[in-house]
Amino acid sequence: MVAGGQALLELPLAEVRDAVLERGAQLGCSHVDVRIERIRDQFLQLRDGAVEGAADDLEVGVGVRVVHGEALGFAGTVAVGPAAARALVDEAVEMARTTSLAESAPVRLAEEPSHGESSWTAPYGIDPTAVPLSEKVELLGAWSRRLLAAPGVDHVSASLHAVSEEKHYADLSGTVTTQHRVRVHPSLEAVALDTPSGSFETMRTCAPPVARGFEYLQGEGWDFEAELEQLPGWLAEKVAARSVEPGEYDLVIDPTNLWLTIHESVGHATELDRALGYEAAYAGTSFATPDRLGRLRYGSELMQVTGDRTAPYGLATVAYDDEGVEATTFDLVRDGILVGYQLDRRIAAEQGISRSNGCAFASSPLMVPIQRMANVSLGHAGDAGPTTAELVAGVERGIYVVGDKSWSIDMQRHNFQFTGQRFYRIAHGRLDGQLRDVAYQSSTTQFWGSLARLGGAATYLLGGAMNCGKGQPGQVAPVSHGCPSALFERVRVLNVREESGR
């Protein structure tokens, strides 16, 4: 393993930690926690094989959260030292005094036992932020030139996003954790132009972002060679494809597309703070309100959805969250019924729930932790379950959907529309060429209620995003969603070209 996560240990962690906890106790805080973080965030963009932009950001800082006088206070600084840390506690306490004037109810945090001292490093081979920029440019450039050399490819965009996140946490209960995880997302998109008409078509790689190192780009976890070999052909077929006829179709949806539908219609909808209305001013609420817990028919009986902070290579996978809660796995939908929510300690206590399930995260040491999504995943049909080809074979008239693209969903996470990278007509159990201009549209409960068959373990894949947005001020969080290929019956399909009036 290439060395990573060592730079954080060079900071005065114990001195800062002790200064914060001692000062918090002196000031009479009922809860104090501190996060010392070092986050390196890199982004590289190429166009037609030439560098278009590159960024390499390093953020180091301290965040302190307190509960004082039954109110919450938070403060952060980029100064990492004992004196600055003590002053930070005073600032957080003053913030609590100020916010107490606006609090409608006392702030409580659900209990969490002390976990003592522990260290955790996510599994990876090569820290992607430690790889020289020149090596990344060389690889993305070679991939771009390879695509540009193919007939029908006019332009290629390539990007790479890499993050190394180191975090030291401590609170008054005695929990002290040090964690390091990495994540990476390479992406290439080929463009074919139709100059006379002014139109164009695109085809993007489906490789998902993952909590792996640079070895991911070298073929560990995804076959980039095979995908790049086929991508020009897929694009050429899309350019020549027939436009879809609107109507109802059975859909076989690949996990490279279905992950996003899970994220928007299940992941966000089962965040309890959102269901209680806390995101109404920014990102919307949820139709899956607490009065419907245990009663809402979310989907068919095949629908089993879990929240999971422990999945191997999951983007939201940790050992402990940003409130010192141990990572776990929990049910959200069981046999098609809503049975649970994603929680942080404050929301859990507010709702009379004895313990959080570990869904607190802050995207920066200068941001207060808020409730964020776990790896929310749909269960598969087991080792003996059908392959994607077997799902297709059972469809008389339908469409096979591959890869994510654009999407839209209402502010209550109920009515939605999704497009994709590739759509194949299914006729009498066989794939019959690509279709263009396809979008599927439904409501959350109607769509998941149409779930008729799940693929087996061999079809299961972790998709995800590195930039899920939430909160005011806005924060981004990485999150994965596992799912198999799945069959949905009688789903409405639109022709987006006709809908747009073109």
- Return the CATH superfamily for domain 8-240: PmbA/TldD superfamily (3.30.2290.10)
For residue 5, the model assigns a pLDDT of 63
- Residue whose token pair is 């404050």: 346
Closest CA to 470 of 354, 382, 344: 344
Coil, helix or strand at residue 202: strand
For residue 103, the model assigns a pLDDT of 81
User: What pLDDT digit, counting tens, does each position of 152-191 carry?
Assistant: 999 999 999 999 999 999 999 999 999 999 999 999 999 9
For residue 333, the model assigns a pLDDT of 98
Give the span between the Cα atoms of 239 and 6, in whole angstroms.
49
Torsional sign, CA 142, 144, 147, 149: negative
User: What pLDDT digit, counting tens, does each position of 117-135 carry?
Assistant: 999 999 999 999 999 999 9
Number of other residues whose CB lies within 10 A of the CB of residue 67: 23
For residue 47, the model assigns a pLDDT of 98
Give the span between the Cα atoms of 268 and 275, in whole angstroms.
9
Q: Are 99 and 70 in contact (CB under 8 A)?
A: no
Closest CA to 221 of 484, 403, 463: 463
Q: Per residue in 96-121, is it b (16+ CB within 10 Å) or e — as a string?
A: beebbeeeeeebbbbebeebeeeeee
User: What pLDDT digit, counting tens, does each position of 11-33 carry?
Assistant: 999 999 999 999 999 999 999 99
Q: How far is CA 106 from CA 6, 69, 102, in A?
A: 40, 8, 11
For residue 194, the model assigns a pLDDT of 84
Q: How far is CA 294 from CA 39, 341, 445, in A?
A: 40, 11, 15
Residues of the chain predicted below pLDDT 50:
1-3
What does the domain layout of the chain look like in residue ranges? 8-240, 243-499
Q: Per residue in 361-377, is it b (16+ CB within 10 Å) or e — as a string?
A: bbbbbbbbbbbbbbbbb
Q: How far is CA 443 from CA 250, 266, 414, in A?
A: 16, 12, 5
For residue 2, the model assigns a pLDDT of 37
For residue 160, the model assigns a pLDDT of 98
Residue 227 phi, psi (nearest 5)? -65, -45
Give the span between the Cα atoms of 27 and 23, in whole angstroms.
6
Give the span between the Cα atoms of 6 and 243, in whole angstroms.
54
User: What pLDDT digit, counting tens, does each position of 485-499 carry?
Assistant: 999 999 999 999 988
For residue 1, the model assigns a pLDDT of 31
Give the span between the Cα atoms of 129 and 181, in whole angstroms.
11
